Structure 1
Amino acid sequence: MRENGYAEVLLKKALELTRRLDAKALVIIGIKLKKPLKVSVPILLVGKEVDNHNSLKTLPLPLSLGTKNLVNLASSFMIAEGMIEEGEIFIYVTPSTLGIRKAKKTVEVKDEFFSQIEHVFQEVLELAIELSLEGREGKPVGTIFVIGDTKNVMKYSHQMAPNPFKGYKINILDKESKEIIKEFAFLDGAFVISKSGRVLCAGRYLDIDFKRVSVNIPSGLGSRHLAAAGISKVTKAIAITVSESGIVRVFKDGKIIFEYNPRLH
């Protein structure tokens, strides 16, 4: 049986379980629906390329996060959206797995994270996760991606080294661009990416005066995280950091709204 055949069987079983166990929600991960589902509970579709049926709730996250983390994020999202109460049962299904979970906030994620999910953000987050897992030439790499509000980001930063992207139209939404971006992840400083996905520069030093700017991050985090928090505080940009230990963090308004270590899952 082909994989999509398994998905159809598992989806049918998920619907049966939802009814039999009186589950309060159904989470469908990475499966494209061919027709509307007949179920009385809220349905959440998870994945970057999910098709929305009858205005179902969607959570367009990269599947590279892995089932465990996608389920945890779906749980947090449904609680935040009022789709389910903490402690209630929900069913989740992927093209190869089926499971039962109690709704619980288990991922370090703030409600603001979910409102940032759009195509450019998805691609940068996925790239950050790939860098965490792969590094560069097999070695750990740390970097910063700053997305959006580029006019102000450029105002609060300066170039540390010649900009390798100057004069080129490299866009994060083009799949082949990811390998190009990875090649420059070794540069000190940040990548600056426009809201449309164009990579404006790499090796950008973020100039934040912390005597005037107050940010809310845990003690022990280094200058990379401080800079990311600072630029997200003084501009409307979102910053994503990859630490050499593999932790991916998302910053908005000077605070961490998402924290995840792909190497642990």
Structure 2
Amino acid sequence: MKEMIGDQTKKNVAGNADAKSVKMAGQICRCAIDLAVSCGSVAVILIGDIPFDASSICSVPVFHVKAGIRDVMDWLSVPKKSSLPIEECAESIEKESGRKTDLVRTISALSFGLDKIREGTVIGIVRSDDDYSIIVHDLRDNDMVRLINDCCSRINPDVFRSILKVAIDLSVKGREGKKVGTAFIVGDEKEVLSRSHQMIINPYKSQEPEEKSVLRPENYESIEGLAQLDGAFIISSEGEIIAAGRYLDVDAHDFRIEKGLGSRHISAASITRDTIAIAFIISESGGTIRVYMDGKEILKINPQTGELVNDMEACSNPENCISYDPGNKNLYSDS
């Protein structure tokens, strides 16, 4: 009997703690919504195990990043502050704050690149253990967003987003349980074709136009399947897949690239030096995505971050939030 009472007491204590945690999370989220409204923000992004009921939210897009969050928390973690001298404690707090800010900055920029949010101010809430941080980030000051916009000045923005979606999917999941490495060379297609040749019969040579478009999500499956072939994809600036299994004929003997990267990266980066094409390369060994323009690496996306953004859930309907009124304070109830 005593054991039963003790177990019930523990359950009651745990239940009260959970209720307090949910209540605190709700209060923090309401503060973030208030801040989002006052800043005219384009979205609120929740990162971590944050209980949140969005049923009362009607205007501000709210997204929740959950997938792989344990890895993110490990990445954010620093030594326990209580065991550190004051100077080291201050340094650890600064490092953790910087990591959380970097996480919000990166996830926001990738979300923009995938057309999940617009350019503007984003409010991020990051939970690490029992700590909550509210971070305000302006995407207009984000270097990654600027570089994405630079890419989209050369190729159709929808083409950029489609290739990025496919690249992230291959980076995170691979293909049939195996890691996949490939390259997508986009834009300046005539010049790129003149500097390359087929390694195999071109699988897109006799395809119908709609089957060659990267803008059609129903084609993603076949693209990911053909990504297992040797050679690169050649894609027009408007999204037509002209060829797959293409070998790039480049002179890379004096080309400098990050140590450890192989011939796929060297040839793809070199073709962007010699043309105005943009190259998306997925590393077979680690799944890292690199984007090159003008011979330089401009974006680098690790598969962990890609997974977070890929699985980011909308807590409120962004379609209702495109033109919300920042002056409308009646966005949620206290019930």
TM-score per shorter chain, which class? 0.5 to 0.7
What's the counterpart of residue 41 of structure 2? 26
Is 1:258 the counterpart of 2:299? The answer is: yes
Indicate if the aligned counterparts of 2:277 and 2:293 stay in contact, CA closer than 8 A. yes
Higher helix share goes to which structure?
Answer: 2
1:34-53 alignment to 2 at 5 Å?
none
Deviation at 1:115, TM superposition (A): 2.3
Q: Is the partner of 1:200 in helix, strand or coil?
A: strand
Any idea what the Cα deviations from partners look like across 1:162-191, whole Å, max 9, x if unmatched? Answer: 000112121011111000111111111100
Normalising by the residue count of structure 2, what TM-score does the alignment of the two structures yield? 0.53
CA separation of 1:201 and 1:46: change in aligned 2, threshold 3 A? farther
Deviation at 1:71, TM superposition (A): 2.8
Pick the aligned partner of 2:233 from 160, 168, 191: 191
CA separation of 1:15 and 1:103: change in aligned 2, threshold 3 A? closer
CA separation of 1:114 and 1:34: change in aligned 2, threshold 3 A? farther
Aligned counterparts of 1:125 and 1:216: Cα–Cα separation in 2? 25
Indicate if the aligned counterparts of 1:91 and 1:99 stay in contact, CA closer than 8 A. no
Is 1:16 the counterpart of 2:34? The answer is: yes
Aligned counterparts of 2:202 and 2:109: Cα–Cα separation in 1? 39
Greater relative CO, 1 or 2 (CA 8 Å, sep 6+): 2
Give ranges in structure 2 of 5+ residues lacking alignment: 1-26, 46-53, 73-99, 111-119, 126-131, 309-335
Is 1:175 the counterpart of 2:210? The answer is: no
Count matched residues: 213
Aligned-residue sequence identity (percent) comes to 39
- AA aligned to 2:290 is R
- AA aligned to 2:238 is S
Pick the aligned partner of 1:100 from 123, 130, 134: 134
What's the counterpart of residue 328 of structure 2? none
Q: Which structure has the greater CA radius of gyration? A: 2
Aligned counterparts of 2:216 and 2:278: Cα–Cα separation in 1? 20
**How much is the aligned-residue C-alpha RMSD, in angstroms?**
4.0
Aligned counterparts of 1:130 and 1:242: Cα–Cα separation in 2? 10
Aligned counterparts of 1:200 and 1:34: Cα–Cα separation in 2? 44
Aligned counterparts of 2:299 and 2:180: Cα–Cα separation in 1? 19
Indicate if the aligned counterparts of 1:216 and 1:254 stay in contact, CA closer than 8 A. no
Deviation at 1:121, TM superposition (A): 0.7
- AA aligned to 2:104 is V
- AA aligned to 1:155 is S
Any idea what the Cα deviations from partners look like across 1:199-250, whole Å, max 9, x if unmatched? Answer: 1110000110124xx5453122111110111011111110000111110110
What's the counterpart of residue 71 of structure 1? 104
Deviation at 1:100, TM superposition (A): 1.5
CA separation of 1:10 and 1:103: change in aligned 2, threshold 3 A? closer
Q: Is the partner of 2:201 in helix, strand or coil?
A: coil
